Amino acid sequence: MARVRPDSRSDRIQVLVAEQAARRGARAGVVDVCAAAVAALPVGGAGLSAMSRTAASHPLCSTDDISAQLEELQLTLGEGPCVDAFVRGSAVLTPDLLTSELQEHWAVFADAALEAGARAVFALPLQMGAIIPGVLDLYADVPTVLDAEQLADALAFADLATLLLLDTRIVETGTTGGGTAPERGFEDLGAYRAEIDQASGILTVQLGVGIEEAFVRLRAHAYVQGLRLADVAADVVAHRLRLSPDAGPDRTDEET
């Protein structure tokens, strides 16, 4: 039986996450990313925390008790791979917590995590430039090294979780007005669109908000108007479209 083989890693990861969501009978969310990551990678559990520089960080989901403990521990202690991944903006891969330098680096967390039953811990920032809304944590109960393929998969799970997490913010802000839900997944980034990121930067000034909020507003606008994100971004960059903090969007080409 021939099965369609998705040709890119991100497509394949999206399918895995969608399958988990279907099993739950719900829209895909970060909880499905955790479940799919555990099924696909040599890890015992996964957890995901929302992170912020300005507000309190908090755990969002976990696949088992150990994962839940690891999330709580790091946010309580303010140390651990998850915290480092957030601060540094890069993946923190710890194949074995029982190494002396790590015990020194995370004086309290290392022992507590071992106590909880974790031996290897991998923290992957959910990241889009300066936007880091959270961190995906994976653990294994034996010393574990992720090979290049597994690491690439883990990074792809984190990428998908980034968008899913930001999507929930769109729904929370009610910007979609109960209309069509955001489409899933990435637009084809094979041709990476610098305009999307430039437009997010522009909107931080126009709206007087942080970069994460700016990106969420950009996406929300695209959804509400039924436009492609790349097209809306191009309009913002070309000054054909301005968003204002209170009122709706102004199309500058209609004003003149």
Partner 1 sequence: MNQQLLAKTFVELADNLVADFDLIDFLRLLTDRCVGMLGAGAAGVLLADRDGKLRVMAASDEQVRLLELFQLQNDEGPCLECFRTGAPVIVPDLTREVDRWPRFVTAAHRSGFGAVQALPMRLRDEVVGALNLFRATPGPFDPAATLIAQALADVATISLLQQRTTHRSSVLNEQLQTALNSRVLIEQAKGKLAERQNIDMEQAFTALRGYARSHNRRLVDVARAFINGSEPLAGLGT
x/- contact string, 120-149, with partner 1 (CB under 8 A)?
Answer: -------xxxxx-------------x--x-
Among the candidate windows 22-30, 108-116, 178-186, 187-195, which touches partner 1 by CB under 8 A?
187-195
- The answer to whether the beta carbons of residues 163 and 183 sit under 8 Å apart is no
Of the pair 1, 205, the CB lying nearest partner 1 is at 205
All residues at 6 or more sequence positions from 167 whose CB lies less than 8 Å from its CB, including other chains? 182, 219
Among the candidate windows 21-29, 63-71, 134-142, 195-203, which touches partner 1 by CB under 8 A?
195-203
Closest CA to 50 of 90, 26, 77, 86: 86
CA atoms of 116 and 195, how far apart (whole Å): 45
> Could you tell me the CA-to-CA distances from 125 to 200, 203, 206, 221 in Å, in that order?
19, 23, 27, 26
Strand residues in 110-188 grouped as ranges (E): 120-128, 131-140
Sheet with 131-140: strands ordered across: 58-62, 45-50, 131-140, 120-128, 92-94
Q: Segment 12-51, which members bind partner 1 (CB under 8 A)?
A: none
Decide if residue 91 touches partner 1 (CB under 8 A).
yes
The answer to whether the Cα torsion of 249, 252, 254, 256 is positive or negative is positive
Closest approach of partner 1 to the CB of residue 180, in Å: 26
Decide if residue 95 touches partner 1 (CB under 8 A).
yes
Of the pair 9, 240, the CB lying nearest partner 1 is at 9
Decide if residue 105 touches partner 1 (CB under 8 A).
no
Closest approach of partner 1 to the CB of residue 191, in Å: 5
Q: Where are the alpha helices (DSSP H) in 106-147?
A: 109-116
Decide if residue 152 touches partner 1 (CB under 8 A).
yes
Number of chain positions touching partner 1 (CB under 8 A): 38
Of the pair 176, 206, the CB lying nearest partner 1 is at 206
Which of 155, 160, 161, 222 is in the footprint of partner 1 by CB under 8 A?
155
Contact residues for partner 1 (CB under 8 A)? 8-10, 53, 89-91, 93, 95, 127-131, 145, 148, 151-152, 155-156, 189-192, 194, 197-206, 210-211, 237
